[in-house]
Amino acid sequence: MDISELPPELSCPTLQLIVLLGLDVRNNLAHKNIWEALIMNRRPDRPPLNFQLVSGDSHDLTTMRTKEPSQEAAVKGILKVDWMAKHLHRVPAVLVLFVDLDWNSPFWNEKLSECASKIQSIRHSFYGRNPYLALVLVQSFVTLPTDELATQKAAELCSSCELSSKLLFILPQSEHLFGYVVRLCDNFYRLEFAFYDLAQNYYQNELKLLKSKKEALSRTVSQRLYVRYSFKQGFFSELRQDAHSALKYYKQAYQMLLEIEPVDTAVTELKVIGGYLTYKICRLYFKHNAASESMSHFQKHIEYFRNKTSKLEAEFEHFAWLSKQYSFFAELFDAAVQSGLTTSSAEHPGFYYQTAADYMIRRQREFELSSKEEKNESRTVEETEEQISTTTTTVVGYCGQRTDWSLSSTIDSEGRFDHSSAAVGLLCNAMAHFKNYPRSVRSRHCLLVRLGMQYVRQGRLEQALQAFLQALAPLRRARWTSLVSACLAPALRCAYALARPKEYVALVLELLNVEYGVAEPARRVQLQRNLLALSSGTVPEPEEEADKEESTTAQMAWQRLLLDSTTTFVPVAAGDINAGLTVTGGFCSPEGMAVVAASTTFQLRLKSDLPQPLQLTKVSVQFVAGNDPTRSWTLDTPVEQQPLLQPSTTHLFEFHICPRPEHAGGEIQATSITLHIGQLTSKVYITLVWDVQSISSVGFCISNLGRKAAKLPVELPKRIKVLPKPPKLAIVCDDGFAVLIGEKYLYRVTVENLESAPISKLKLKVFESANSRCQHGIKFGYNIEQCDGAALSLELDSLMPNCKASSVFYITMEKTVDNVSMHLQITYEVMLNAENTDMSCNCTLDRTVSFSSIMPFVVESYLCTMMGQRVNELVVKEDVLLWMHVRGVSVPTLICSCTLHLCDKVHMNNPINYQTFENAVIDSDTSLSEICSLRPVGATTEPISIAHATFCWKRWNETSSSEMISTSFSLCNVNIVSCPVIVSCVVPSFGVMYRPFLVKYSIENTTEKTVQLEATFESSERFMFSGMRKDLLKLTRLSKLEIILNVLPLIDGFSTLPRLQLLSSSEAVTSSLKQYSQRNVPLTILITPKDSTVSSSQDSKIALQDAESNCSIRMVCAYGCFVNASIFNQRNIIITF
């Protein structure tokens, strides 16, 4: 008995057995239709029944074994071998007898006796068991429930057959027979569900019987019987579809099983029954979505039985049992996953399949060891025949028990088992699950290695080589050297047996590395000789692990390959493996830069770890410009120089490249390094290729696994950036200058050729620098008339070495900017000779010039009243003064003339002379001023510029153009308002204490209407005055009224004059009068003491007459005192204190 195998009854669906009698499906079409209706189309909603047919009227019940007398008093085992199969396939829960009988049959009495006889015979056959017996009458027509004849004869039939009326069913024959089978019978139950209910009652009775037996047991004495009864209870509960009760009974059985002392003779039985129970428990746990409880139970089960073996079983049988335990649990786990169970990368069926495969491999190893030991022991033919006959005749009655066991017979039986195929299947299942989890990469690689080993044992060398090669690449990257080393030898054996030169060469080179390759000197020498033999067209020597037949087949395959007329090229990606060669290299430019038309060197160093010298045909390095494969080229060592790599010696190779003009701005990198072994005329030509792009090692270390490559004296880059040829030109131009707004600035650029050869196609491009924060509107031009371009391109003549050329252009700006960047770009072409090759190089010289744009001069202007007070608004018919101040800047400017243009709302009182601005040169230390008197003549609704000053000027140096530049400036943007009344006043320049003087007020009506006002002079402690003090004034349209006061000063110093107040009946007019009417009326006057140098009162009269005849101006000087200034002829100003 194989203790590792699970009986099929353990995993098959638990269906209730229903035995059908009396159906002749071969000869009776109606019976056949009944049978097909019952067994076909078993949908999930139909009861879980297993219908079994006993054909014909013979009622052959020989397979239905009756219940044997109980032998529980002498317990021989826990569970009989065929117990589950018996209750699933042989012991029915319900017997159903089908009889063709109508209520109105003329042979009713004969049929009744025959039916009673059949039922009596069936009951006798199942004596000792209690299955339910049901009778089904197949009738040819439908009977109504109210039919008295049917009721009477049904009672008679039940009485004769000693059958309950509940076990009698009527099945009318119809075209829609299936509908009657699945439809309610007697309006209450379906026929199938009636059978199902009977089966449920049968298994319930069996459970009650087992319960009564178990309750009579003692757990300490009858432990095996307790396990047996609990197992049967669980099995019957499963047949009743009561999964929760089944799980409870199975757990009780398993718990009692662990309490049985595992003596040597009982260990095997306990393991087998424990496996059965664990299978049932885990399957029910998964069915209840309790995966964690299932895994916990399985782990405890394995921990308990892992180290329990018996003398009646071989070691490989124990491993077979463990492998099967993990295998069936993985299958249950996998089925739960297919049903929707969620797993993780840390817990999924793949782990259990993997462990099952591990135990299967250990089973194979233990079997091989046992076979070797068995062969060493001699056995006679008679002993062997006796053991075989004993093994075949011994009948085992209980699961897990063995009688007359012998190791030799077990080994003979185990020898017929294919261990490798079983291990391969388990490993493939594990791989399928590990592929679903990206983080389980290392586990997948380990499984690939084990899978390859099993393929080798099976002789499936093609699949084995594929598995090894698939696992080696990631294992190398992960630096899992132990697994890499384990893979190389069997992979080399497969490659040799399959005559694969590419894989064979790669594996030989990797076995020759000094880190994890072959360590024996003789084996290393043999491997290198095989490599050299293959390169010379000779068949390599066979591998030691291969048997004679495999070696012969492999050599014939190699001979067929080498006899081919064409050359076999064997490219090996040496950069993907850890070959016995170390490659380092890089460009001799630590900065990673190269220049067009300048030679640069690529250094390559090779170090061999092979045991013997290696002859190379040549060494090649492939370069590529940028990332375009079409722009690549290869440099080789000279043909006459065939390198010979000595062991443990570093060899230096240098390759010179000269970047071409089309490489400028890009990169040049070494894409691959190739070592050529063999001659093109030989049958096999081997190339070892290192792909530089896939390597990220420091210092251009190509080998990506194993011992670090030897460092170069300087850490050299593996790619260089190609810079354009640097221009050799000297450029002379101004920087930091200032351009005046409105002028066309003349700018000169001078270049000198410093190249060793003539230059041609010399061009100068001028434009605003792109790195400026915003565009400032620079305009360029070839001449003064056309200076409106955003960029400028000038073509210059060709230049011989050490010659110069100049070019000029004009710059103009429209707004002031503190810092403007102008870009000068000079391009030219020069023909050079590099490495005996003529190259036409285009060179570019860029220069950024910064300058500023400023106004040629600054014009400031403001307005003030005749009293010198600044104002922001003008009043119609009120005289004001316009001050204009011109201030120079850092650039000297020549002002040739100035013209003042007034708006139509303002008139000039007197003509003005502009001699101040004629041919005047101003700079940052010079300024010019001019003043004029204006009178507004009309009001405005919004601020306007009252005047525009136009200046004709040019730069005061030779770089400026000779033409004059006209620039206009807007002066005093103010609002002009109207006031009904304007008041003016004539006051002497000073007064003397106690000497009277006259003050004359002039009130003018500026409107076309009559204005009535109330005039009042405020009293003052500093003056006594005579004249009008308060009066009502009536001013007709455009009329003027004069008021004269005789004022006597009482106190010296600055004194406030009597103030005139004008009031109107309109508040708006009064407000306007207060704000605008008296802006030209002086408020104070200087009173000198009586003993002042002014000795005559005539002086006061003279001053008053002067004031009447001239325009009197009163202002405050810088010292805080009042100054009276009289303007004569608009030019001469007399200032008196």
CATH topology of domain 8-211: Rossmann fold (3.40.50)
Only one residue has tokens 């210059």, namely 796
Residue 426 to residues 242, 326, 430, 616, 697: CA-CA distances in angstroms?
33, 10, 6, 47, 39
Q: What distance in Å separates the CA atoms of residue 26 and residue 616, rounded to the nearest whole number?
A: 85
CATH 2.60.40, domain 857-977, yes or no: yes
pLDDT band at 496 (very low <50, low <70, confident <90, very high): very high
Tens of pLDDT along 1005-1036? 888 888 888 888 888 888 888 888 788 888 88
Only one residue has tokens 């080179």, namely 509
Residue 1105's pLDDT is what?
A: 47
Residue 1121's pLDDT is what?
A: 32
The residue-averaged pLDDT of 809-813 equals: 90
Residue 277's pLDDT is what?
A: 96
Q: Which of 438-442, 698-702, 762-766, 812-816 has the lowest mean pLDDT?
A: 698-702
Give the β-pairing of 837-854 and 738-740: parallel
The residue-averaged pLDDT of 585-610 equals: 86
Q: What distance in Å separates the CA atoms of residue 280 and residue 332, rounded to the nearest whole number?
A: 10
pLDDT band at 1060 (very low <50, low <70, confident <90, very high): confident
Residue 219's pLDDT is what?
A: 72
Same fold, 441-565 and 579-723: no
Please report the DSSP string for 667-712 in residue order.
EEEEEEEEEEES-TTSSEEEEEEEEGGG---GGGB---SSSPPPPP
Longest dimension (CA), the chain: 182
pLDDT band at 376 (very low <50, low <70, confident <90, very high): low
> Which of 938, 920, 940 has the alpha carbon at shortest distance from 929?
920
Residue 174's pLDDT is what?
A: 62
**Beta-bridge partners for 948:** 901, 970
Residue 192's pLDDT is what?
A: 86
The residue-averaged pLDDT of 219-245 equals: 91
Residue 182's pLDDT is what?
A: 45
pLDDT band at 449 (very low <50, low <70, confident <90, very high): very high
| Segment (H or E) for 72 | none
Tens of pLDDT along 168-184? 988 887 655 445 444 43
Q: What distance in Å separates the CA atoms of residue 691 and residue 576, rounded to the nearest whole number?
A: 8
pLDDT at 63 over 60: no
Residue 772's pLDDT is what?
A: 60
Tens of pLDDT along 618-668? 999 999 988 777 788 888 888 677 888 999 888 888 898 888 888 888 899
Specify the CATH superfamily of domain 729-852: Immunoglobulins (2.60.40.10)
pLDDT at 389 over 60: no
Report yes or no: 618 and 637 within 8 Å, Cβ to Cβ: yes
pLDDT at 384 over 50: no
Report yes or no: 1009 and 1037 within 8 Å, Cβ to Cβ: yes
Residue 12 DSSP SS3 = coil
CATH architecture of 981-1136: Sandwich (2.60)
Query: 704 or 770: which carries more pLDDT confidence?
Result: 770
Q: What is the 3-state secondary structure (H, E, C) of 635-661?
A: EECCCCCCCEECECCEEEEEEEECCCH
Q: Structure tokens of 403?
A: 């009688």
pLDDT band at 1130 (very low <50, low <70, confident <90, very high): very low
CATH topology of domain 579-723: Immunoglobulin-like (2.60.40)
Q: What distance in Å separates the CA atoms of residue 773 and residue 692, rounded to the nearest whole number?
A: 43
pLDDT at 1126 over 50: no
* Continuous H helices in 536-601: 548-562
Write the CATH number of the domain with boundaries 441-565: 1.25.40
> Which of 981, 1006, 985 has the alpha carbon at shortest distance from 1064?
981
Residue 218's pLDDT is what?
A: 78
Residue 51's pLDDT is what?
A: 92
DSSP 762: E
The residue-averaged pLDDT of 903-927 equals: 85
Report yes or no: 450 and 361 within 8 Å, Cβ to Cβ: yes
Amino acid at site 969: F
Domain spans, the chain: 8-211, 441-565, 579-723, 729-852, 857-977, 981-1136
> Which of 416, 581, 404, 599 has the alpha carbon at shortest distance from 508?
581
Tens of pLDDT along 185-197? 333 347 888 899 9
Tens of pLDDT along 96-145? 999 999 888 888 899 999 999 999 998 888 877 889 999 999 888 776 66
Q: What distance in Å separates the CA atoms of residue 1090 and residue 1105, rounded to the nearest whole number?
A: 22
Residue 55 to residues 27, 90, 93: CA-CA distances in angstroms?
11, 15, 18
Q: Which of 50-64, 767-781, 975-989 has the lowest mean pLDDT?
A: 50-64
Tens of pLDDT along 547-568? 888 899 999 999 988 887 677 8
pLDDT at 596 over 90: no
pLDDT at 462 over 70: yes
pLDDT at 325 over 90: yes
pLDDT at 1063 over 90: no
Which residues are CB-neighbours of 1077 under 8 A, at least 6 positions away? 979, 980, 981, 982, 983, 1062
Buried b or exposed e, range 285-311, using 16+ CB within 10 angstroms:
bbbeeebebbbebbeebeeebeeebbe
pLDDT band at 390 (very low <50, low <70, confident <90, very high): very low
Which sign does the torsion angle of CA 255, 257, 260, 264 carry?
negative
Tens of pLDDT along 683-714? 889 999 987 765 533 344 344 444 444 444 56
Residue 678's pLDDT is what?
A: 84
Q: What distance in Å separates the CA atoms of residue 328 and residue 492, rounded to the nearest whole number?
A: 36
**Considering the chain, what is the average pLDDT of its residues?**
83
pLDDT at 268 over 80: yes
| Segment (H or E) for 424 | helix 419-434
pLDDT at 958 over 70: no
Q: What distance in Å separates the CA atoms of residue 670 and residue 65, rounded to the nearest whole number?
A: 86
Please report the DSSP string for 918-950 in residue order.
TTEEE-TT-EEEEEEEEEE-S--SS-EEEEEEE
pLDDT band at 67 (very low <50, low <70, confident <90, very high): low
φ, ψ of residue 78 to 5 degrees: the values are -90, -50
Q: Which of 403-417, 569-583, 908-922 has the lowest mean pLDDT?
A: 403-417
Residue 62's pLDDT is what?
A: 47
